[in-house]
Structure 1
């Protein structure tokens, strides 16, 4: 016997009630999804802070250990780098370095010399000898010995040409070389700060070193790959005088010179760490044990070169013990916050699962009702379920506008 057909008004009314319930459940699903996204972003932010603090603490302990076992001061390390530059005979860097160091009083007021800020090798320091060696090898001798000028006028003053385009050896840096009995051999590299394309992102103004805000590589779970230390551009330490050196547009050495040299070059502890992180490396990587992956994807294999000119290794402890204690307490606090957020995420995930299951169930009920409204209504017509929808009835517990109030 065929089931009785329900009036179209009742079917339409029931559908609207069921659709409204489905819509509300959909809003709850979106609400829990948004809560989870927010909690994940908060956890990611905490992890970023913890990684930064871990790097600072690691640098502190590395520097402290070096100070305890090595009597070489930062000043002596700088002098060693300068001596290594002076040893590069017949190069522009050796000549300019000689003029700046040995004939400072005579040449300090020359416009040509005043515009030269220094050399790549002397404008930054690092806190680890292995890092100094691998970064120097990555850049190569030409870049390490490159002159750094503040303006393009300074670059033009280094070399003059006659009407045929031949170098005038009696002027510029060539003329200064001849006055000292030196003849420059071959080409040399010059960086002009105001002509370099600067970093387009943000700088951490709360950091004394004004480090660049870069997005760390992340594994699918959100954590940094094993062995990742930092980006090379942020591992260069700048002296206070060099920190205050800004271009006309307000950009410092890190945003211009060192970003141009290193871009997003990543630094890892070992070659094995680089291998594991390959899918996350876009602009090359180096490791403290000598591994080099170029931005074009090529690996540098074999024995490391004996780089004569390296960045000075700063053995000074950059943070006071009081600051270290404060950072360690901050790490504990951040880890506690992360634990609380993970608990909140677990609750949200459970609620989301429940709401999604209910949503799927109600959606299926609606589809069944649209297909066979009479059969669906009869299946619901039991002592434990709502009564059939008839004029004046209240399906799904919906409140009727004609309900009497007491």
Structure 2
């Protein structure tokens, strides 16, 4: 009876200790999970930076080939090109902006206009600018972007299902010597379905937290440079204040235009990655996949209106050096995280060893308890005083060692 009570008391204490140790193991496993999540996040950031680095190097090579023309696609040049398209809505808007500037914010038909698609984003590489413009097409590149539905309706009025050419953008065009002909596209930010996920933490450009394609081994597909929506550089004033509810152009306009369009270095890289492409892809050497099963073949179109390239007078070599420094810092952070993971794994192994030792000891005591009971059961059938003394001595020793 005493032996059984001792075992119950011991097992309860041992179970309590084991539960605490099991909780400790879970705590360390959760730490490892968080650390691995940080490592994956850093890997993605490094990959995006490596894509930007390739863009800087290609831009630097262009400068070395012809140092008289560093960048031929500045924001002003893009605006000037659109102004030449005299009978387009984009041309009228650009001409009005050039002539009247700040007055556009007071005119009823233009006060809600954010800008033209081609002038609202910049990219780091001319090849990227060219392929994205070709992917979107001329009508989209020249599309007007308005904040609200009221702003869209103010651009054009109707009378008996016919456009009233005396008001709206049609009415103001003749005042600057223009005539507006044909259709034009207008994006209303208020009515676009925005990106529903998160933005990258600590990213000044507020890039979207999209899930990068991964091979079965966890690596990125060869040549994958990133998502087009995250490779557009946006002015600070449009990053978070483009809509009345505080959303930026990346979450609204550019996510609508590009969705999860992937960018690859070469056409071969893009074709090899088809199993991982969901919303289309482009390559810097001219490959275009619009969507699953739709390929754009043939000679590249010499597209006139493109996205401007970075800021006015960029320095690709300086930018490359800064990016390389960021990559080194992130690699160092990764090493620190790996060291933390190794420490957590060592702590888990130590706790598991203690748990195993406790488990082995408990099993041994249970077996001894069971053996004693069987021995007592068998010997109770014998009436001999000699056996009774042996049983008493065995039980006394069992209790003594059990207490130890």
Match of 2:118 among 95, 117, 121: 121
Instruction: Give 1:198-217 correspondences, 5 Å limit.
Output: 198-201=194-197, 210-217=205-212
Greater alpha carbon shift after TM alignment, 35-44 vs 310-319: 310-319
- Inter-partner Cα distance in structure 1 for 2:322 and 2:179: 54
CA 22–149 in structure 1, closer or farther in 2 if over 3 Å, else same:
closer
Residues 1:189 and 2:179 aligned together = no
Which residue matches 1:37? 33
- Inter-partner Cα distance in structure 1 for 2:278 and 2:372: 58
- The number of residue pairs the alignment matches comes to 379
Residues 1:297 and 2:278 aligned together = no
- Inter-partner Cα distance in structure 2 for 1:226 and 1:46: 18
SS in 1 for 2:145: strand
Q: Which runs of 5 or more residues in structure 1 are unaligned? A: 379-386, 398-406
CA 265–375 in structure 1, closer or farther in 2 if over 3 Å, else same:
farther
TM-score, scaled relative to structure 1: 0.73
Which residue matches 2:156? 159
- Inter-partner Cα distance in structure 2 for 1:362 and 1:275: 57
Which residue matches 1:339? 335
Deviations 1:24-57 (A, max 9, x none): 4423432331232233133234334433543454
Q: More helix by proportion, 1 or 2?
A: 2
SS in 1 for 2:162: coil
Residues 1:9 and 2:17 aligned together = no
CA 36–314 in structure 1, closer or farther in 2 if over 3 Å, else same:
closer
- Inter-partner Cα distance in structure 1 for 2:328 and 2:236: 31
CA 329–240 in structure 1, closer or farther in 2 if over 3 Å, else same:
closer
Match of 1:229 among 225, 250, 255: 225
Which residue matches 1:130? 127
- Inter-partner Cα distance in structure 2 for 1:227 and 1:201: 25
Match of 2:22 among 21, 26, 45: 26
Deviations 1:173-225 (A, max 9, x none): 3344567574612x3210123443444555569655x3324144163665544
CA 388–291 in structure 1, closer or farther in 2 if over 3 Å, else same:
farther
TM-score, scaled relative to structure 2: 0.73
The alpha-carbon deviation at position 134 of structure 1 amounts to 1.9
Residues 1:171 and 2:167 aligned together = yes
Q: Which runs of 5 or more residues in structure 2 are unaligned? A: 375-394
Residues 1:46 and 2:42 aligned together = yes
The alpha-carbon deviation at position 273 of structure 1 amounts to 3.5
The alpha-carbon deviation at position 377 of structure 1 amounts to 9.8
**RMSD over aligned Cα atoms:** 4.3
Which residue matches 2:69? 72
The alpha-carbon deviation at position 114 of structure 1 amounts to 4.3
- Inter-partner Cα distance in structure 2 for 1:242 and 1:33: 42
Greater alpha carbon shift after TM alignment, 326-335 vs 240-249: 240-249
CA 394–46 in structure 1, closer or farther in 2 if over 3 Å, else same:
farther
Match of 1:144 among 141, 144, 166: 141
Q: Is the 8 A contact 2:223 2:265 kept in 1?
A: yes
The alpha-carbon deviation at position 156 of structure 1 amounts to 1.4
CA 293–75 in structure 1, closer or farther in 2 if over 3 Å, else same:
closer
CA 335–78 in structure 1, closer or farther in 2 if over 3 Å, else same:
closer
- Inter-partner Cα distance in structure 2 for 1:212 and 1:255: 9
- Inter-partner Cα distance in structure 2 for 1:252 and 1:346: 41
Residues 1:266 and 2:262 aligned together = yes
Which residue matches 2:391? none
SS in 1 for 2:115: strand
Greater alpha carbon shift after TM alignment, 364-373 vs 86-95: 364-373
